Amino acid sequence: MSNATELTEENFKGAVASGVTLVDFWAEWCGPCKMIAPILDELAADYEGKASVGKVDVDSAANLAQEFSVASIPTLIVMKDGAEVNRFIGVTQKSELASALDSALS
């Protein structure tokens, strides 16, 4: 079971409105998305109470993917108080994502 929160078109804005959130735009059929999933679960546990990790399935939330100009997946966006502060495309090292979260939290 994933530690990340499932984000939908209905709950997205509320989920990212305040604080720091790492948003993973992914799809079930995406190999690299499956590779990075354990890293995101670790980050969700590591940052519990400080930042959240959310996952957006681009197949069921196509409008969100379009709104954030997601052309490749996985796309990982660090958001602070509802605004994008950092973006990564493709499989990204845990240390790089943690550094981006730490930067957004400071």
Q: Given 15, 30, 64, 73, which residue is catalytic? A: 30
Q: How many CB atoms within 10 Å of residue 64?
A: 19
Q: How many CB atoms within 10 Å of residue 26?
A: 25
Q: Given 16, 22, 23, 33, which residue is catalytic? A: 33
Is 38 catalytic? The answer is no
Is 64 catalytic? The answer is no
CB 74 within 8 A of CB 30: yes
| Catalytic annotation, residues | 30, 33
